[in-house]
Amino acid sequence: METIIELLKLSKDYRDGDIVTTALSGISFNIMRGEFVAVMGPSGSGKSTLLHILDFLDRPTGGTYLFRGKSTSALTDIQLAHLRNKEMGFVFQAFNLLGRSSVYDNVELPLLYADVPVFRRPELVHKAIHDVGLEEKTYVPTSNLSGGQKQRVAIARALVNDPSIIFADEPTGNLDSISGGQVMEALQELNEHGRTIILVTHETYTARYAGRLIALHDGKVVKDESIADRHKGNGLIK
């Protein structure tokens, strides 16, 4: 099985004059293709800093980050941005959708910034929408959708470029428990179809949809284990 992410004694310090604040301290772990990993920790544990390093929005101050076997330290910001657009999809707590635009237009957005021929875009967009079970909402403005449906549009948008990894950052934070469960079932079923997913959450019930838990505290990994009682939903994706 391919190793997508490998961290070796990764650290991140923030400096303010003579004051040094350590956000991450000597973190090491691997993430394999096809894993569903939940990253948990209290406020200030370092999980947001870790996410920003993993998705190339920030750089570590020490240690090594290998992405698909290659060190990221020598890559320029432009190269990292290109790799991010090509290899990664993102689902955010706040949806980040264009409310007056249709589901189709929102899902198509990443393709406008990617090297994808215009004639291929409809096929990719419709497939991503189908994969999250929203075919009947394809041309409906996203402002007319429920919170759970909006988050599934965000998942479809994350899928449309066929990324290596989907990062889900507190994806149920703005949803009620029923809608949140539906979103997590959608992510879980995508994982069962081979997608690699990294979930950042503070909610235990959402972490239970993953197959592995990495817990952080004070910038260190304090737990890295399989989730024995992984939740099994009814599934949304056909």
> What pLDDT, in 10s, does the model give residues 178-206?
888 888 988 998 898 889 999 999 888 89
What pLDDT is attached to residue 193? 86
Buried b (16+ CB within 10 A) or exposed e, 67-101: beeeebeebeeeebeebbbebbbbbbbebebeeee
Could you tell me where the DSSP H helices lie in the chain?
Answer: 47-54, 77-87, 103-112, 121-131, 147-159, 177-192, 204-207
In a domain, 71, yes or no: no
Checking if the pLDDT of 12 tops 90, the result is yes
Which stretches within 55-102 are classed as H helix?
77-87
User: What's the pLDDT at 116?
Assistant: 84
For residue 86, is it left (φ>0), alpha (ψ between -120 and 50) or beta? alpha
Answer whether residue 234 is part of any domain: no
The domain that holds 54 is classified in CATH as: 3.40.50.300
In this prediction, residue 115 carries a pLDDT of: 78
The reported pLDDT for the residue numbered 238 is 34
Q: Is residue 5 part of a domain?
A: no
Distance CA 37, CA 197 (A): 6
97-133 pLDDT, tens digit each: 988 999 999 999 999 887 788 999 999 999 999 989 8
What is the pLDDT at residue 186? 87
Nearest Cα to 28, choosing from 67, 64, 2?
A: 64
Task: Identify the CA nearest to 170 among candidates 56, 224, 94.
Answer: 94
Find the domain containing 188 and state its range.
33-62+76-226
The band of 233, judged by pLDDT with boundaries at 50, 70 and 90, is low
Q: How many domains does the chain have?
A: 1
* pLDDT at res. 223: 95
Summarize the confidence of residues 17-37 as an average pLDDT.
Answer: 94
